[in-house]
Amino acid sequence: MNAPQPALASGLLDLAGDFPILAQPVRGRRLAYLDNGATTQKPQAVIDAMDAFYAHSNANIHRGVHWLSQHATDLYEQAREQVRTLLNAADSQEIIFTRGTTESINLVAQTWGQRLRAGDEILVTGLEHHSNIVPWQLLCERSGAVLRAAAVTDSGELDMADFKALLGPRTRLVALAHVSNALGTVNPVEEVVRLARGVGARVLIDGAQAVAHQAVDVQALDCDFYAFSGHKLYGPTGIGALYVRAGILADLPPWQGGGDMIRTVSFEGTTYADGPQRFEAGTPNIGGAIVMGAAIEYLRGVGLGRVAAHEAALLAEATERMTALPGIRIVGTAPHKAGILSFLVEGIHPHDLGTILDTEGVAIRAGHHCAMPLMTHFGIPGTARASFALYNSSQDVDALVAGVRKAQKLFGV
């Protein structure tokens, strides 16, 4: 589907031209978009897929006898297959479309979670996004289960000794991020799954920051649940997916009730659809799923191996250049990191830094990154965060470094 992808002499990808928004000046400056952890920009191929769906294929799915409905249904189910391929799931019937990572995790908490009882334990890590903490707290309030959080080391890694100490026969679920959105730490998910298996616990992986940055294989990981969002994957907002291992999915109680999730309805009793449809009540985000499929195709065309190498090179360059500046503290120094650089500049609040960078056309994120327990661990209110995507370049790193220098001059630090 994609033309051969341009690469620079350095081996870095050169794909900014695929993304129209990047050509748009911001505050009169060239845009250096480094807020990819929050959401990614969309390539023309994805924008075209959105147009094409509404211009040629729009209809409601699954119930229609007419051609357009069948066509839209085919495209929607093809998108499920594209997600299957992205995650290397064994069967597309293990893929549930959701609004995104947050909804995927809440779905697990509200369906699978119904089996938890007082005294059962859920084990997360100190690195989690609020969306992988709060649904479990709500579940604990309902069920009497207990939420435990494994400690984080000074380098921003999961403290495996603490994790092992907290994991035990009461642990029913381990829920952790594949990649930390706040620090970029890549968690040792394979080892975590292996240890969790040893005590018979299920494992949920929050893949929000992973799927667009490295190849993911849920069969090799051997996890039970894997959640992600389309908008962090060069696709639209309002769509994402949840992988549920087939044997578990078959036993999950329904979630929301409504059309499309049933087999038969009567006042005497209703029976429910099998497979992912049981969890997709009502008209789903049909266009969103199909356009997310186009985003997955785009990413596959580039190749996740090349994306990972590109972002690793940019992270290394940015880390080296930022570390060379005076008064910089990098927060999160794990040896195995994805393309996220969290940092503090002595004497400048991250929000002030973000505002000054914005005047230079550099978009970063400043704050707690929806990971307040992690910030508390480091004793800081927040950080400045630059997060990289396949379209970023050394020029963006130049703009970041120059912007930080400018802020330091303005603040006289």
Nearest residue to 304 via CA among 402, 214, 198, 184: 214
Per CB under 6 A, 131 contacts ligand PMP: yes
How far is residue 345's CA from residue 326's CA, in Å, rounded to a whole number? 9
| CA 150 – CA 160 distance, rounded (Å) | 8
The answer to whether 223 is a known catalytic residue is no
If one asks whether residue 102 binds ligand PMP (CB under 6 A), the answer comes out as yes
Minimum separation from the CB atom of position 83 to ligand PMP (A): 15
By DSSP bridging, strand 383-387 and strand 340-345 are antiparallel
Stretch that binds ligand PMP, among 21-29, 48-56, 97-105, 360-368 (CB under 6 A): 97-105
Q: In a 10 Å sphere around its CB, with 0-12 CB exposed, 13-18 middle and 19+ buried, how is residue 287 labelled?
A: buried
For 87-91, which contacts have Cβ atoms below 8 Å and span 24 or more sequence positions? Answer: 87/211, 87/216, 87/217, 87/218, 87/226, 87/243, 88/216, 88/217, 88/218, 88/219, 88/220, 89/218, 89/219, 89/243, 90/219, 90/246, 91/246
Cβ at position 374, least distance to ligand PMP in Å: 11
Of 45, 47, 370, 372, catalytic: 370
Q: Is 365 in the site for ligand PMP (CB under 6 A)?
A: no
Residue with Cβ nearer ligand PMP (12 or 176): 176
| 177 vs 322 by CB, closer to ligand PMP | 177
DSSP, res 46: H
Stretch that binds ligand PMP, among 99-107, 137-145, 285-293, 392-400 (CB under 6 A): 99-107
Q: Does 229 bind ligand PMP (CB under 6 A)?
A: yes
Contacts of 194 (CB under 8 A, 6+ apart): 222
Binds ligand PMP by CB under 6 A, chosen from 111, 209, 285, 342: 209
Closer Cβ to ligand PMP, 342 or 408, answer by number: 342
First to last CA, the chain: 51
Q: Binding of ligand PMP at residue 101 (CB under 6 A)? A: yes
Site for ligand PMP in 282-341 (CB under 6 A): none
Q: Which two tokens stand for residue 111?
A: 């369906």
Min dist CB 203 to ligand PMP, Å, is 15
Token readout for 378 is 């480091």
| Residue 318 backbone phi and psi in degrees, to 5 | -65, -40
User: Which C-beta is closer to ligand PMP: that of 132 or that of 333?
Assistant: 132
Between residues 212 and 390, which has the closer beta carbon with respect to ligand PMP?
A: 212
Shortest distance (Å) from residue 205 CB to ligand PMP? 10
Shortest reach from residue 359's CB to ligand PMP, in Å? 25
From the CB of 216, what's the least distance to ligand PMP, in Å? 14
**Which residue's C-beta sits nearest to ligand PMP?**
181
CB of 218: closest distance to ligand PMP in angstroms? Answer: 17
Report whether 61 contacts 76 (CB < 8 A): yes
CA geometry: angle at 315 spanning 313 and 321, to 5°?
105
Instruction: Tally the C-alpha atoms within 13 A of residue 286's C-alpha that lie toward its C-beta.
Output: 19
Among 12, 97, 100, 399, binds ligand PMP (CB under 6 A): 100
368 to each of 35, 128, 350, 375, 384, how far by Cα in Å? 14, 12, 10, 6, 9
Residues 158-187 that bind ligand PMP (CB under 6 A): 177, 181
Q: Is 129 in the site for ligand PMP (CB under 6 A)?
A: yes
- Name the residues that contact ligand PMP, by CB under 6 A: 37, 100-102, 129, 131-132, 177, 181, 206, 208-209, 229, 370
Residues labelled catalytic: 370
